[in-house]
């Protein structure tokens, strides 16, 4: 059976939870539109996150890879268009690393574009009543690091598609950040399901009415 690989992150910057992991964890082991869903949690650590990602891709040979990250302060589900070959951390990662103006991959291209159908995903989310937009920046922290490394690896695997999605704080996180936007876990989960099904439908012509089962 073909595989979809979902990647989320551990908490960082004094947060107790990371919505990216909370939103995808429940999909692990499900069958969606005939694809087996595998979920893995990445460390919020430069280098180690890519090592784990590359190991998972080598192991499962997924047809589709979607990495999901927290973007506290954003108001919607953001489908990332581009990853740049720069690590430039405003804070240290969970192991104390804080690279400044360093390449993600030495001698790699300046940027990689997502191979997800980003505007189709945004349209499908909006049609479902879920706030969504195309984002033109994945930042320069570990999320961009993972997106760039993912797309760099998949450039050697033309049968695999991949990209990155940012999601807002959960309500319990936003309560500690005065004025910050949030989104319910249920809405995030539905949004990720729609994103997966849209990506698969564009690739395989599976109708968008498909769903996940245990």
Query: Cα separation of 30 and 32, whole Å?
Result: 6
> What tokens appear for 213 in the block?
């089962």
Instruction: Clarify whether 193 is annotated catalytic.
Output: no
Please, which residues have CB within 8 angstroms of residue 114's CB and are 6 or more apart in sequence? Answer: 79, 80, 81, 82, 83, 147, 151, 162, 163, 164
Residue 176 CA to its chain's centroid (Å): 24
**Secondary structure class of 165 (helix, strand, coil):** strand
Instruction: Clarify whether 143 is annotated catalytic.
Output: yes
- Single out the catalytic residue among 22, 39, 44, 166: 166
Query: Cα separation of 38 and 124, whole Å?
Result: 23
Closest CA to 141 of 68, 87, 80: 87
Token pair 């430069």: residue: 46
Assess contact for 36 and 3: CB atoms under 8 A: yes
- Single out the catalytic residue among 143, 145, 152, 193: 143
Query: Cα separation of 57 and 54, whole Å?
Result: 5
> What tokens appear for 104 in the block?
């993600």
Instruction: Clarify whether 39 is annotated catalytic.
Output: no
- Single out the catalytic residue among 22, 39, 44, 80: 80
- Catalytic positions are 80, 143, 166
């Amino acid at each position: 059976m073909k595989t979809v690989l979902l990647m989320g992150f551990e908490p960082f910057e004094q947060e107790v939870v990371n919505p990216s992991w909370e939103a995808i964890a429940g999909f692990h082991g499900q069958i969606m539109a005939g694809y087996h869903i595998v979920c893995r949690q990445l460390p919020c650590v430069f280098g180690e996150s890519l090592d784990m990602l590359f190991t998972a891709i080598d192991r499962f040979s997924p047809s589709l890879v979607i990495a999901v990250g927290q973007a506290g302060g954003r108001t919607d589900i953001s489908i990332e268009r581009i990853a740049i070959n720069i690590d430039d951390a405003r804070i240290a990662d969970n192991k104390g690393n804080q690279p400044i103006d360093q390449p993600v991959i030495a001698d790699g291209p300046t940027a990689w574009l997502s191979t997800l159908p980003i505007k189709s995903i945004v349209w499908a989310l909006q049609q479902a009543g879920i706030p969504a937009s195309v984002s033109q920046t994945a930042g320069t922290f570990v999320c961009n690091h993972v997106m760039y490394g993912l797309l760099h690896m998949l450039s050697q695997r033309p049968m695999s598609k991949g990209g990155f999605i940012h999601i807002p704080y959960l309500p319990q996180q936003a309560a500690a950040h005065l004025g910050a936007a949030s989104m319910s876990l249920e809405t995030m989960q539905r949004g990720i399901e729609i994103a997966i099904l849209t990506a698969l439908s564009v690739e395989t012509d599976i109708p968008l009415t498909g769903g996940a089962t245990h």
